[in-house]
């Protein structure tokens, strides 16, 4: 007999109890009741969002676009080029990590 936590009142109860003895919430009886309270937590899932390199590349692209109308063509081209490279490397890195 194991112990599980009631989802409503968070008290520990038997995994075979038909209802929580503290709040009366009906419980699933048997193996489908879930893991016991002392079971280790499941491993964290991998994020699928953008990588840091892609975000940095996007910021450099935006900086390059801001510099275009400010008559700073060398700075704008450097920002745009670095932003494109970082975005591409970040996208490839995210693809490889999957």
Instruction: Note the pLDDT tens digit of each residue in 57-94.
Output: 888 888 888 777 777 788 888 888 888 888 888 888 77
* Cα 83 from Cα 98, distance rounded (Å): 23
CA torsion sign for 55, 57, 61, 63 is positive
pTM beyond 0.75: the answer is no
Rounded Cα distance, 44 and 23, in Å: 31
Give the Cα separation of 81 and 73 in Å (integer).
Answer: 12
pLDDT of residue 51: 72
pLDDT tens profile 41-53: 777 766 666 677 7
pLDDT digits (tens, 9 = 90+) for 5-22: 888 898 998 888 889 888
């Amino acid at each position: 007999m194991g112990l599980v936590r009631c989802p409503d009142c968070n008290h520990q109860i038997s995994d075979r109890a038909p209802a929580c003895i503290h709040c009366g919430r009906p419980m699933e009886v048997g193996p489908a009741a879930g893991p016991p309270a002392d079971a280790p937590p499941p491993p964290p899932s991998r994020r699928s969002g953008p990588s840091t390199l892609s975000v940095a590349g996007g910021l450099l692209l935006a900086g390059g676009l801001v510099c275009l109308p400010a008559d700073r063509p060398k700075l704008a081209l450097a920002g745009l080029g670095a932003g494109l490279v970082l975005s591409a490397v970040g996208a490839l890195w995210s693809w490889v990590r999957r």
